[in-house]
């Protein structure tokens, strides 16, 4: 069974950093393309970032709204994907979901950016 478990959500001040972790199991992680998607308090879903597999040179892609501030990475030895979020803004407040190929989703983790 595919499992995706996000951790690392928190209340953080604007301008600070936070790192989310998605621990996975139940599939061959090293071959998987992984994504982060977020959902605003207004319930709008927004794709955030993607990382491809080693065979695709770990290519990464980002939404314009997070480019230069967020970094997606992975550790195939730990079957985990990460989202490093720097220079956080209030508009980054959302539930962050880790997804396997946009098909399987984790339960999500809340990030609140507020002073």
Question: C-beta of 70: minimal distance to another protein in Å?
Answer: 13
Task: Please return the burial class of 103, using the count of CB atoms within 10 Å of its CB with bins 0-12, 13-18 and 19+.
Answer: exposed
The answer to whether residue 63 forms part of the interface with another protein (CB under 8 A) is yes
The angle formed by the CA atoms of residues 98, 51 and 72, to the nearest 5 degrees, is 70
Residue 77: which of 23, 20, 19 has the closest Cα? 23
Is residue 111 a contact partner of residue 10, using CB atoms and an 8 Å limit? yes
Taking CB under 8 A as the rule, does residue 43 contact another protein? yes
- Between 43 and 55, name the residue whose CB sits nearer to another protein: 43
Which one, 42 or 77, has the nearer CB to another protein? 42
Candidates 7-15, 23-31, 55-63, 77-85: pick the segment binding another protein (CB under 8 A). 55-63
Residues contributing to the site for another protein (CB under 8 A)? 43-47, 50, 61-64, 97, 102-108
């Amino acid at each position: 069974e595919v499992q995706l478990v996000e951790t690392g959500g928190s209340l953080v001040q604007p301008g600070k950093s936070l790192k989310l972790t998605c621990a996975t199991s139940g599939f061959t992680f090293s071959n998987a393309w992984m994504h982060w998607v977020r959902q605003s308090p207004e319930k709008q879903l927004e794709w955030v970032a993607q990382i491809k597999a080693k065979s695709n040179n770990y290519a990464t892609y980002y939404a314009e709204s997070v480019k230069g501030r967020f970094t997606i990475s992975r550790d195939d030895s730990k079957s985990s994907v990460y989202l490093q979020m720097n220079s956080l803004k209030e508009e980054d407040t959302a539930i962050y979901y880790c997804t396997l190929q946009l098909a399987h989703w984790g339960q999500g983790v809340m990030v609140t950016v507020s002073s």
